[in-house]
């Protein structure tokens, strides 16, 4: 049994109330850890510490190359412990080991990316009337509250922590209350590499108390949140008190559009990957598959054939291709959506059930599920299910595909499959989404901005855009002829 403490001011601490929360392995239902269950008081303490650390200037005023040295060291240590961390991620979140291994490698890459970026040329100068020399510099925002969900516990943490620290901010990080395990290891590493006390803090506990305090506190300058759209909305409201800077990476219902002239096998393959990777618990999942009428039936037939072959099991079984959902509550939510789809009149052509045979009965396993004969107004077409449930939509031509693709409140991601390059670009340019793919789905790069249009969020993570979100911009105007201006008579 693991005992997980919070990390505040360089100390590992229990919740002030002494409360703990049981952390469950979703493949077996077994309790694997007891995590400190923080409260508003714990959050306030961590925020105060981060405030003092920022205001001391110790971290922000370090030369960029020095901060980079810490981040490179974190990346090295993540890599050195990669297999251990991947196994912990699978134990806590359920995802197959091959995915956890990928996440750890990507997390190390993200630290290296920002360690490199922070030492590169930066800022602007601009020409104004003599004798003023004008320039723009970037400075850290200050104290950053970082709140993440449970679907990529380590990776989502790193996408925020790496750029925030690189830019010279101090942080209070909160993992999802369901998946705090690998965050503990990450903060052990942060401690080992010697990041000064108070710069990086971790609190645990419920969103509505601990998370809300991070969003509401006037001592916090910026909140960077990844999670559901409804939570994002409440964070915006809480953050309004001191006009906090906010970045929100929220939900999606992303269209994956396949034209009749697409490479058939490639499109089938990516359609499966788009919705069933990570059990469909991916914000950018291709959860709506838009098929051109003429290939619809043949495509669905092949898709179902392939989906039925997906090996569902415990994430630590090397044979497993799809693991359990993250928790019982989440599994129940997904199963309710499947019932809703049937009740709405969509036709279930694959899966639809909880899996209990072959020792899976204690875990939260759901079959790869596919609905056809949907209509655009159905809730299973409009709402994010965040599980292995695909809604297939049929379209007649390019214009119809674009209209259907954009017909939700979300705008996170989208894919297009066609061998006609010009058509692919025409469609992508019309898609109201921040992350797009042509003839592939899901590849994600530390170098490229991540985020959505419409109700999928505000701002971008990753890349130079993600770095900028953790900075303020200052203009500096320097008078090169220091003498009175004489505007008012003496
Ligand atoms: P969630 O919104 O319930 O929780 C996310 C985090 O917010 C958790 O740490 C939670 O404790 C905290 N939280 C909850 N209520 C809060 C409040 N009132 N104030 C402050 N913090 C609060 O989301 P989830 O169920 O953990 O994750 C699934 C959601 O995350 C999906 O909607 C998914 O699309 C989204 N997501 C988006 C991205 C992206 O990059 N766009 C990536 C991963 C997940």
Residue among 206, 200, 207 at smallest CA distance from 184: 200
- Number of C-beta neighbours around residue 188 at 10 A: 13
Evaluate: CB of 177 within 6 angstroms of ligand 1.
yes
Q: For ligand 1, atom 32, which residue shows the shortest CA distance?
A: 228
CA distances from 182 to 35, 158, 275 (A): 12, 11, 25
Q: How confident is the model at residue 322, as a pLDDT?
A: 98
Q: Report which of 196, 195, 194, 155 is spatially closest to residue 176, judged by C-alpha positions.
A: 155
Assign residue 84 a region (left: φ > 0; alpha: ψ between -120 and 50; beta: otherwise): alpha
pTM above 0.75, yes or no: yes
Q: Is the CB of 386 under 6 A from ligand 1?
A: yes
Helix (H, G, I), strand (E, B) or coil at 156: helix
Confidence at residue 296, expressed as pLDDT on a 0 to 100 scale:
98
Q: Which of 37, 99, 213, 249 is catalytic?
A: 249
Backbone angles phi, psi at 427, to 5 degrees: -70, -45
Task: Count the residues in the chain.
Answer: 490
Of 132, 123, 119, 167, give the one whose Cα is nearest residue 146.
Answer: 167
Tens-of-pLDDT digits for all 490 residues of the chain? 899 999 999 999 999 999 999 999 999 999 999 999 999 999 999 999 999 999 999 999 999 999 999 999 999 999 999 999 999 999 999 999 999 999 999 999 999 999 999 999 999 999 999 899 999 999 999 999 999 999 999 999 999 999 999 999 999 999 999 999 999 999 999 999 999 999 999 999 999 999 999 999 999 999 999 999 999 999 999 999 999 999 999 999 999 999 999 999 999 999 999 999 999 999 999 999 999 999 999 999 999 999 999 999 999 999 999 999 999 999 999 999 999 999 999 999 999 999 999 899 999 999 999 999 999 999 999 999 999 999 999 999 999 999 999 999 999 999 999 999 999 999 999 999 999 999 999 999 999 999 999 999 999 999 999 999 999 999 999 999 999 999 999 8
387: Cβ below 6 Å to ligand 1?
Answer: no
- What pLDDT sits at residue 372? 98
| pLDDT of the residue at 213 | 98
Atom 15 of ligand 1: nearest residue by CA position:
207
Active site residue 110: no
pLDDT at 15: 98
Name the residue at shortest CA distance from atom 18 of ligand 1: 208
**Ligand 1 pocket check: which of 99, 207, 334, 442 to mutate, most ligand atoms within 8 Å of Cβ?**
207
pLDDT value of position 86: 98
Closest atom, ligand 1, to C-alpha of 147:
9
Give bridge partners of residue 454 from the DSSP assignment. Answer: 410
Pocket flag, ligand 1, residue 326 (CB < 6 Å)? no
Task: Provide the pLDDT for residue 490.
Answer: 86
DSSP codes joined into one string, 44-103: HHHHHHHHHHHHH-TTTTS-HHHHHHHHHHHHHHHHHTHHHHHHHHHHHH---HHHHHHH
Alpha carbons 375 and 393: distance in angstroms, whole number: 7
231 C-alpha to ligand 1 centroid (Å): 6
The phi, psi pair for 380, rounded to 5°, reads -70, -15
Task: Compute the distance from residue 252 Cα to the ligand 1 centre, in Å.
Answer: 12
């Amino acid at each position: 049994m693991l005992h997980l403490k919070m990390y505040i001011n360089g100390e590992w601490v229990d919740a002030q109330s002494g409360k703990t929360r049981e952390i469950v392995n979703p493949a077996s239902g077994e309790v694997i850890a007891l995590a400190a269950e923080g409260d508003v008081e714990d959050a306030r303490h961590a925020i105060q510490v981060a405030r003092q650390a920022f205001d001391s200037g110790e971290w922000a005023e370090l030369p960029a190359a020095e901060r980079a040295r810490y981040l490179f060291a974190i990346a090295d240590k993540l890599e050195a412990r990669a297999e251990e961390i991947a196994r912990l991620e699978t134990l806590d979140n359920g995802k197959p080991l091959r995915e956890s291994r990928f996440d750890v490698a990507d997390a190390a890459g993200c630290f290296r990316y920002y360690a490199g970026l922070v030492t590169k040329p930066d800022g602007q100068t601009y020409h104004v009337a003599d004798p003023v020399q004008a320039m723009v510099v970037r400075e850290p925002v200050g104290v950053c509250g970082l709140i993440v969900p449970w679907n990529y516990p380590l990776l989502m943490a790193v996408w925020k922590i790496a750029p925030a620290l690189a830019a010279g901010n101090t942080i209070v990080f909160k993992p999802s209350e369901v998946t705090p395990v690998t965050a503990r290891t990450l903060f052990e590493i942060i401690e080992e590499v010697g990041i000064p006390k108070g710069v990086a803090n971790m609190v645990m506990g419920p969103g509505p108390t601990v998370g809300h305090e991070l969003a509401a506190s006037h001592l916090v300058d910026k909140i960077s949140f990844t999670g559901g759209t409804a939570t994002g909305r409440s964070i915006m409201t809480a953050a309004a008190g001191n006009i906090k800077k906010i970045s929100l990476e929220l939900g999606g219902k992303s269209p994956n559009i396949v034209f009749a002239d697409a490479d058939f096998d490639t499109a089938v393959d990516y359609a499966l990957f788009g919705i069933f990777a990570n059990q469909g618990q991916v914000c950018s999942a291709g959860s709506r598959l838009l098929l051109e009428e003429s290939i619809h039936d043949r495509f669905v037939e092949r898709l179902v054939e392939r989906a039925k072959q997906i090996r569902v099991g415990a994430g630590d079984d090397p044979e497993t291709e799809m693991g359990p959902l993250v928790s019982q509550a989440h599994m129940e939510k997904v199963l309710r959506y499947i019932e809703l789809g049937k009740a709405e009149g969509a036709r279930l052509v694959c899966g639809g059930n909880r899996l209990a045979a072959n020792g899976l009965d204690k875990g939260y396993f759901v079959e790869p599920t596919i609905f056809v004969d949907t209509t655009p107004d159905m809730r299973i077409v409009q709402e994010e299910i965040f599980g292995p449930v695909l809604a297939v939509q049929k379209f007649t031509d390019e214009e119809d595909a674009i209209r259907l693709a954009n017909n939700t409140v979300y705008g996170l991601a989208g894919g297009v499959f066609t061998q006609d390059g010009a058509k692919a670009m025409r469609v992508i340019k019309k898609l109201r989404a921040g992350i797009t793919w042509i003839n592939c789905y899901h590849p994600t790069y530390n170098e490229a901005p991540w985020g959505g249009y419409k109700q999928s969020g505000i701002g971008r993570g990753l890349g130079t855009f993600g770095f900028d979100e953790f900075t303020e911009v200052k203009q500096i105007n320097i008078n090169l002829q220091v003498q009175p201006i004489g505007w008012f008579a003496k």
